[in-house]
Structure 1
Amino acid sequence: MNNIARLYEFFLESGKVSTDTRNIIPGSLFFALKGKRFDGNSFAKDALNAGCRLAVVDDKNLKGEKDCFWVPDVLKALQELARLHRRKMNIPVIGITGSNGKTTTKELIAAVLAKKYNVWYTQGNLNNHIGVPLTLLSMPPATRIAVIEMGANHVGEIAGLCEIALPDHGLITNVGKAHLEGFGSFEGVKKAKGELYDFLKKNGGEIFINVDNPDLLKMAGHYPWIGYGSGKDAVVKAENVSADPMLSFELTTSRVSRMTITTRLTGLYNKDNVLAAASVAHYFGVEEELVKEALERYEPKNNRSQLFHTKRNQILLDAYNANPMSMKAALDNFRAMNHHRKVLIIGGMKELGNDSLAEHRNLIAEISELDFTICFLTGPEFKDVVPAGDRFVWYDNTASLKDALRKAEISGALILIKGSRANSLEDVVEVL
């Protein structure tokens, strides 16, 4: 019996995995992962003292230590264990990636499938080389379908995650100029995200695709797919779409025609995310009435497209992430919203590499075309592109911006807050 098979026997007894001694699950297997500033091997005995069943280590000094299970590489062992567990579970796994909307799409898919199946899906943002195995290993025994989000900022990462999760169904939400620093170019983005299609093609999996997206259609090539969108080749369609401000549309499938669905999501850009979920639900036989119920009940969270009121203003908070594509979608939505006083709070877009200056200059040009009272900019990315005049004001960081907003005492406004996660723009809400 090899190491991973033996380790799997211990895992079946325990059913739980821990990687952080600050959050130990009693009886779990502790994986002594390494980071830039820490070595989990140093905490193996602490984990055991805290109640772990076994510590998986790769420090040769711990070979033979009581309750320590030595492997050549702890991370690789975690990934191989997750892959084995996924195989043993033998259930459909839906892989999701994309430049924008993958987390919302993942949650929507989980919501509609949960109307008929026991579903397990990526919690929070555990979508990388550590998060994906942890997600697979935390699947409850009763799970019948798994929805796995896959994130990447370099070519080859999605391919690696596919080898762990072994998806037999998948979709790419879209491709855009995100993480250009790691991907190198838009072509690099398409190559990286397309690794999901490559895996599904190689293994005879099902591809769900937005038929209105020419980039995705080209990436899929001649491989058969299941389409959603507005085009004639879509199995699941949306018609009479509006967002005023909540997204509403008429759903048509092979089973129903023009079923009205009114969501709690803002913005026309969420139409593709909702249709992706409806398409997956349709394939897995979830009745449209149940799909409607799930979509209408879903509420966004975690600073994604949240529309709410403070004591003084109406806030559209979309501060979880930002890139040129998602910025444009947010601005288009903001333009369509009716309000006599519009204010923007915009944070810099990260990881754009050599394209950063040009993309922030383009962003300023797009904002300038809007009808708004004032735009607050924050982050070093805007330093050299702030226009003259009093409609734009710039601050180096969010703390300085927050102080300025506190003094400004803005009232009676519709405020769009949008920026990359690193800006922590949600922190300014309390002074609005």
Structure 2
Amino acid sequence: MIQRISHFFTAIVHRILPDPLIFAILLTVVTFVLAFGLTPTQPAELVVLWGAGFWNLLAFSMQMALILVTGHALASSPLVKRMLVALASSARTPGQAVMLVAFVGAVACAINWGFGLVLGAMLSREVARRVKGTDYRLLVACAYMGFLTWHGGLSGSVPLVAATRGNPMEKTIGLIPVSHTIFTGYNAFITFALIVLLPILARLMMPRPEDVVSVDPRLLEEPPTVERTLSPDATFAERLEESRALAILVALVCAAYLIIRTIEKGFVLDIDTVNLMFLAAGMILHKTPMGYARAIGTAAKGASGIMIQFPFYAGIQALMDHSGLAGVITRWFVDVANVHTFPLLAFLSSAVINFAVPSGGGHWVVQGPFVMPAAKALGADLGKSAMAIAYGEAWTNMAQPFWALPALAIAGLGVRDIMGYCVTALLFSGLVFVAGMYLF
């Protein structure tokens, strides 16, 4: 049955889902229309809001581009490649292959979302090289399906921001410690259930042998080596460029900074930390500064989608937030809730908002001012209410191509190739999220 469901959604998505850039443009138009129809904001004001917010995600866009290129460059180093090969070689059959990628992706995203996205995509490529007869689309979808665990994991934006002093909701509801969000029984149930069930779901979604789409061999071609051997008459400048000492120096300074910061402020595994760790490790493993630069140059070819699409989502988020449209949509759900239905309705409202604001931190800014005071007034569990926002954002990422861009760039596929499988994962994972919130 699950195979037929995934086949149905794959066929539908392949026909109707446009390229992610077109999706972002159409979503911008829909947001304009809804904001004009449902809020008192005038068209000229909406244009100003959109334009003023268009560049608001520049720093985040750079972070995402860096995690893509530094992760890709790290994976192309000989040592990491051997490690990925060893892990990929543990799968002997197509069924084992998709289960392995789904499991590793889910565990890695629970540790850190950026690390998980890159690792899952890189592993799917290595598995495709070694396990013949595996549907490459499903492998890459499995890597992205692991992203369902991220907001209940150690890098979840909403629970971490809710526990941080100075966050927008502190004066209204106070701080919500992570012991009431991440480290709770219901979150442990949801996270572990997803880690266990996603590989099983992946196995059940496998297409029939005659429907398998094998990987284009060109996508798996090994990039040219980035190592250079200097001639005996190399110039001083060339020797500097290929100096192992400089690569080691950069890595040592990065490591020293991370150690000092950890001693002073505690260990924080955020996106900047992951990028710095990837950069330092890549510099060491590629041996020389220019060897690493050449690996980055090869990896950077896949970052174009991030550069062109993320500004559109920044504009959409500005429209949702400053026009009041996000508040209108959230109130539709919250105003009809009682203490028993509140987690479900907060979850569903977050799921809807996520199509226009696919950002964990953005959700807390946009939805927190409406959801959390209502939860407090109803006497609902504040921690669970915050996590309902988080779960809704993670859930509909399976139908929103925004976060798939880094994984797709590494894998060399388009969003239509994987989204049918991801929508199937959305249907079944929704049951896990709701069950976890209501059984505990």
Q: Which has the higher contact order (CA 8 A, sep 6+)?
A: 2
Q: Which has the higher strand share?
A: 1
TM-score, normalisation: structure 1 = 0.24
TM-score, normalisation: structure 2 = 0.24
Q: Which has the higher helix share?
A: 2
